Amino acid sequence: MQLSRTIRCVLVGVVAAVAPAAVADEFVDRVNDVFRSIRQADRSDLILLPALAAMSDPPAAVATPRAARLLTSTRPRSGRGRRSSGR
């Protein structure tokens, strides 16, 4: 009796692990079917991705978002939802 219970638990575990992967794969297939109808001449990724890959690195002064924020010409708002009245 114990062996059959163990086998049942293993089978339930295998089914529980495989079922979500099958559902996700079906979703990806449906999404890909929509994009399969796009003609090669109309695909933007064939132009944009090589252009992005060919871009040079940013200058060291703006290499990080923090450094780029420090170089802005205006002061960032405080985020409190109020604008200064200029007084």
Cβ neighbourhood burial of 13 (10 Å; 0-12, 13-18, 19+): exposed
Considering its fold, how many domains does the chain have in total?
1
**Residue scoring higher pLDDT (4 or 20):** 4
pLDDT higher than 90, residue 54: yes
Q: What's the domain range around 17?
A: 1-37
**Is 82 domain-assigned?**
no
How high is the pLDDT of residue 77? 66
Query: What DSSP element (H or E) covers 12?
Result: helix 2-36
Q: Which pTM was predicted?
A: 0.37
Does the residue 33 lie in any domain?
A: yes
